[in-house]
Structure 1
Amino acid sequence: MPGKFVVSITCAKDDTDKATVGFVVANAAAASDKDTVVFLSTEGTRLSQKGYADDIHEEGFAPLGELMASFAEAGGVIYVCSPCFKKRGLDEDNLVSGAKVVGGAKLVEFMSDGVSSVSY
């Protein structure tokens, strides 16, 4: 099933369940041969920092750090909202594998052909 898929994640340690499920779905999309992007915005941008997700482990799921690493290894890309990232004073030299700080236009470009998406 070729195509594109976007998972938008707006939370981090403020709602670890949603952050985790977002990456579970992103991994499923990548495993289904979808060109998959996770878009981190607002508090979700904190997930872009190495080590931040290491202590997040929701019962019944793999640890969030492992889910994020698996996603990157599968070729998934993580777009990190530039204004949200800057507002929180995060470190661009400390990005997790697969992450890129981008403006909204990059996401719009990726989604311009009628891409399926979900939000957490």
Structure 2
Amino acid sequence: MPRPLVVKVTCGADDPERCNQAFTVAASAAVAGAPVSLWLTGEAAWFGVQGRAEDFALPHATPLADLLATVLAAGTVTVCTQCAVRRGIDEADLRPGVGVAGAAAFAEEVLRDDVQALVY
């Protein structure tokens, strides 16, 4: 089994190529059988909200909503607690399967043995 992958996305529609690349890598790793944890921070926190990923479009890229669904089916998706609060996002706003957690949980994940962490 591949080692676990933690992907932290710090951008959203403000940097669409970098954002889509992070989701693409996370979804590809999930399809390859790696345990994947996708963290949505900064402007990416909006993609944890129901319907927001569907509004994102990048020419010649797999739709963000499809990539997110792939990760949700095989891994975990977490919105940063502080990022959510700063944007007025409540847990009730999130799509099913998306959680909220803070820096301590992120640090715990990336400090486990054999974890690969990527930040976009």
TM-score by length of 2: 0.90
Q: Percent identity?
A: 33
What residue ranges of structure 1 are gaps of 5+ in the alignment?
none
Q: Residues 6 and 36 of structure 2 are in contact (CA less than 8 Å); yes or no, is this contact kept in structure 1?
A: yes
- Give the SS at the match of 2:107: helix
Indicate the residue corresponding to 1:36 in structure 2: 36
In 2, distance between residues paired with 1:13 and 1:107? 23
Indicate the residue corresponding to 2:75 in structure 1: 76
Indicate the residue corresponding to 2:22 in structure 1: 22
In 2, distance between residues paired with 1:96 and 1:76? 14
**Letter paired with 1:29:** A
Deviations 1:86-115 (A, max 9, x none): 011112112123311001111111122242
Q: Residues 79 and 107 of structure 1 are in contact (CA less than 8 Å); yes or no, is this contact kept in structure 2?
A: no
**Letter paired with 1:115:** V
What residue ranges of structure 2 are gaps of 5+ in the alignment?
none
- Count the aligned residue pairs: 119
In 2, distance between residues paired with 1:29 and 1:3? 10
Relative distance call for 1:97 and 1:20 in structure 2 (3 A) is farther
Q: Residues 30 and 70 of structure 2 are in contact (CA less than 8 Å); yes or no, is this contact kept in structure 1?
A: no
Moved over 4 A (4+): none
In 2, distance between residues paired with 1:97 and 1:29? 21
- Give the SS at the match of 2:60: coil
Q: Residues 41 and 79 of structure 2 are in contact (CA less than 8 Å); yes or no, is this contact kept in structure 1?
A: yes
Q: Residues 50 and 96 of structure 1 are in contact (CA less than 8 Å); yes or no, is this contact kept in structure 2?
A: yes
In 1, distance between residues paired with 2:77 and 2:17? 19
In 2, distance between residues paired with 1:107 and 1:3? 17
In 1, distance between residues paired with 2:67 and 2:9? 14
Deviations 1:63-99 (A, max 9, x none): 11111112212x2211211011101111211212331
In 1, distance between residues paired with 2:55 and 2:102? 29
In 2, distance between residues paired with 1:57 and 1:42? 18
In 2, distance between residues paired with 1:11 and 1:2? 26
